[in-house]
Amino acid sequence: MKIVDPKRMHSFSITIINNAKLNIEAYLGDLEERSGKEIQFEKSCEVNYYFQRKQLLLITPKINGIQTGETKTIILSDLIRNPGSSIIIFNGIGDLIISYKQTRMREVPSKNAVSSFNFNFNISNKIFDNPKNIPETYFIIYILDNKLKRALYKSQEYYVKNIVSNTIKLDNESLIVNGNSNTPLYLVLFCPHIRQNKPIGYAEFNLRLLEYNLSNDIITNLPLKSSKYGDIGNVNINYDQIIKYTFIDYLQKGMRINLDIAIDYTASNNEPLDNPIPLHNTDPRYTNDYEEVIEACGSIVTFYNDDQLFPVYGFGGIPRSSDNVDGSVNHCFNINFKKDPKIKGIENIIKAYRESLSKVTLASPTCFSPVIDKVIQEIKYDMENNRDENHYYILLILTDGCINDTQQTMDKIVEASYLPMSIIIVGIGKAVFTLMNLLDGDEKPVINSRGEPWKRDIVQFVEFEKFKKFNAVHYGTDLTEEVLKEIPTQVETYYRMVGKFYE
């Protein structure tokens, strides 16, 4: 950070407050006092970043320890999305230029990396006595996890003595246990023709050894040992590591997050359990639960969308419009009753939602698959026509009850798992949401009607009522914590899966 003062020389210090959760101000410290026309501060402040929170940095200029000028505010997400620097102007004092650098997590060694291996085996003639007729041989990589060996990789079969493997890539997270890069790894060689159920040799290593050798330009050469044959040769490990991009990296590179919202217009909303007040309450003196969720979740996502335009759909209702002359139930309609479903800003979304309640007859049944398919088609169109852009989509579904098209919805979730998309389902009211666990996939993967599992976990289900009971004052903030916390991991998983990001 530096302050440029073109007029006079001062001594400055900066107080930064991280206002991250529940409006509790966390003091991060003062920068050192420095004098000069152009000041380069040496000290920096560390801030933990959370996608699911609204984080403000409150910056106060001081001269000789006394506040001078007004406190300025910067949104942390804006700073992260700007790959260069941000400038804050303090009238009469100077300009504060802020830059930031992402710090990788140090407590878990090499967590944000992928290990790349090539194995070159040199095996003794005492194992293969007929070099012209080498039997089937393969190797398995094991990790020692809580005193139990767990297989990480099995190679193809080889029919040569001096095996040279193809390139093998494994996430470093799979190569360590409890953050310990000394976790034992075993390269175990098998030849069923010679020893049917037992290995013919093995080599022991660990990630820390490989990283040390890599940093010192050493090719790791390990002896191949055998309980029956003794030393049977050696194996050279050509090791490298590829740093994995994080959610912050993708933001820096220009990723944009789109939010689609789907609202339940089924009749059960006006007959809520144990509550005489409709869930779609239109009393202007109060905000209803649908509005609370839209405000809580939408206000966070808006920080990552430049045009602030969000498609909003309804399902399970009968829109009273010229397009619906037969009065049938519609499972995916635009709540603004316009050709374009996009609405600018969260405030206008809530306004359009209120107005729609007088234009839609609540009906049944509850179906998710049409609105999920609508977003899938939107994504496919954008991917086809905006090839040089990286958009990630969040579909926020707000519903008061169980669905009637479970298998069709599971089919669409599996299809969506191959796309840059996450689905957040928030249960409104006091209904039993047991079926939502099938869609959430925490207990077992979502499987489509052809028996195919989803490619990655993309669904998060949350019951809004639980947050109201837990903390009646701050449930909005707690809700965003739970609803949005999995998004960064889901984004990272998608881009690693496709191996492509336009820059």
Tokens of 302: 């808006």
Mean pLDDT of the chain: 85
Distance CA 234, CA 360 (A): 74
Distance CA 188, CA 473 (A): 57
DSSP state of 6: S
Q: What is the DSSP string of 85-124?
A: -EEEEETTTEEEEE-------SSSTTTTEEEEEEEEEEE-
Cα distances (angstroms) measured from residue 390 to each of 145, 285, 495:
38, 41, 10
Tokens of 416: 């969506």
Q: What's the pLDDT band for 7 if we cut at 50, 70, 90?
A: very low
pLDDT at 304 over 80: yes
Domains and CATH numbers, the chain: 2-98 (2.60.40), 113-243 (2.60.40.150), 275-498 (3.40.50)
pLDDT at 20 over 60: no
pLDDT at 18 over 60: no
351-390: pLDDT as tens digits: 999 999 999 999 999 999 999 999 999 999 999 998 778 9
Distance CA 311, CA 53 (A): 23
Residue whose pair of structure tokens reads 């109201």 in the numeric block: 468
pTM (predicted TM-score): 0.76
459-471: pLDDT as tens digits: 999 999 888 765 5
Q: Tell me which residue of 115, 110, 122 sits closest to 221, measured CA to CA.
A: 122
Residue type, 27: Y
In this prediction, residue 11 carries a pLDDT of 44
Distance of CA 301 to the CA centre of its chain: 13
Distance CA 145, CA 162 (A): 30
The H or E element that residue 401 is part of is none
180-210: pLDDT as tens digits: 889 999 999 999 988 888 999 999 999 999 9
pLDDT at 301 over 50: yes
pLDDT at 169 over 80: yes
- Contact between 261 and 310 (Cβ < 8 Å): yes
Distance CA 263, CA 294 (A): 10
